[in-house]
Structure 1
Amino acid sequence: MSEKQAAFCDHYITTLNATEAAKLAGYSEKTAKAMGSENLTKPYLKEYIDLRLAELEEKRVASAEEVLQYLTRVMRGEERDQFDLDPSLQDRTKAAELLGKRYRLFVDKQEITGKLEPVTIINDIPRAPNGD
């Protein structure tokens, strides 16, 4: 991968616009659209871009473990708000409720008992003598 292609990839990741990324990477105004489009079809550049976008997405989106840890800190009163205050009782209760739902602590269990008998179908509909 050339320096210009690497610059294109990095700019494409931030702009998501191939023409703009090509211009920022140093391609001429006349060829920016064509080169941007062409660069996106090259497998090794596409793979690099997809890998970098996946890394960025992973950093932006909280994992399930992070969410559970956060809810646990709120429930225990360890997480402070923007004013450096303890979470309210309502916030702590809501966090506990969400954790309880996650671990299925509040599922109502119902036991149904009964006797199932097989169904018997009897064909006792009279038919006309001609078979209709």
Structure 2
Amino acid sequence: MLTARRQRFIQEYALCGNACEAARRAGYSPKTAHKKGYMLLRIPAIRDGIDKALQDLRKSSVADLQEVQEFLTDVLRGKVPGAKTRDRVAAANILQRRYPVEPAGDNNEVAIIDDICGEDITIK
């Protein structure tokens, strides 16, 4: 079981990445924070706690796919203040690349335009 001070060290280390600073913020003496931070990092339970805290921090700080899609949809629909027309078009393009739409109907024709000879060829 970790003490409250060690749990605080884990949280602070996950935020700043510096053992000495994390030890100071957790309440250890500034005079011994450097040595104490180094010693705390060698304890397996603390290393595991730091790994879990970093993983949780990454999850909360990085947007998932659903959140990105919702934001792009809000931009597209003009719900985001300050979104200009170019932003709405860019959001539409990004969403379309993610979810391509097949053309409706049975029109499978391809038109080839020949600029050199002036003949148009239609392939069905």
Which TM bucket (shorter chain)?
Answer: 0.5 to 0.7
Between 95-104 and 3-12, the greater mean CA deviation after superposition:
3-12
Q: Paired residue for 1:99?
A: 95
Q: Which has a greater percent of strand?
A: 2
Q: Distance in 1 between matches of 2:70 and 2:59?
A: 17
Aligned twin of 1:59 = 60
* Over 6 Å off, 4+ runs: none
> Pairwise CA RMSD of aligned residues?
2.1
> Unpaired segments of 5 or more residues in structure 2?
103-124
Aligned partner of 2:105 in structure 1 is: none
Q: 1:72 to 1:34 in 2, by over 3 A?
A: same
**Structure 1 segments unaligned to the other structure (5+ residues):** 82-86, 107-132
Deviations 1:21-72 (A, max 9, x none): 2233333345322321121122221222222222222222111111111111
- Taking structure 1 as the reference length, the TM-score comes to 0.64
2:114 maps to none
Structure 1 residues 39, 103: closer, same or farther in 2, change over 3 A? same
Shift of 1:90: 2.1
2:6 is the counterpart of 1:10 = no
> What TM-score do the two structures reach when normalised by structure 2?
0.67
Taking the aligned partners of 2:25 and 2:41, their CA distance within structure 1 comes to 15
Note closer, same or farther for the CA distance 1:71–1:22 as it changes in structure 2 (3 Å cut).
same
- Equivalenced residue count is 101
The aligned amino acid for 2:14 is: I
Instruction: Provide the rounded CA distance (Å) in 1 between the counterparts of 2:88 and 2:29.
Output: 57
Distance 2:48 2:4 in 1: 16
